Amino acid sequence: MRLDKFLKVSRIIKRRTVAKLVCDNKKIKINGKVVKSSAAVKENDILEIEYFNRYIKAKIVTVPSGNVGKADASDLIEIMETKKIITNDEDLVREDSLEDL
């Protein structure tokens, strides 16, 4: 399964397009390597995600063949570590919001 699809199905990131943007900004690693949104995920891979002001390190327990229910989504990953990331306010400005200026 593609990484962006897995992030959506596991409900780590709610929308696949947002997952793709996070990948494009080189904020996701699989087994310590920065990857694209099209990278394939498999069981026992270690995900490292920097998403807004959070860092999440998780192990993939199961890769589903399709969509899963909300109750079963938490069974797909095992959270190993989470921490808050301190960011500058300038980093929080979205590029698309600059187009309005």
18: amino acid identity, one letter: V
Name all domains of the chain by residue range, CATH numbers in brackets: 3-87 (3.10.290.10)
**Confidence (pLDDT) at 90:** 53
Residue 54 backbone zone (phi > 0: left; psi -120 to 50: alpha; other: beta) = beta
The pTM of the whole model exceeds 0.75: yes
Query: What pLDDT does 85 receive?
Result: 81
- pLDDT per residue as tens, the chain (101 positions): 999 999 999 999 999 999 999 999 999 999 999 999 999 999 999 999 998 888 999 999 999 988 888 888 889 999 999 998 876 655 554 545 444 44
Question: 41-71 in b/e burial notation, b at 16+ Cβ within 10 A?
Answer: beeebebbbbbeeeebebebeebeeeebeee
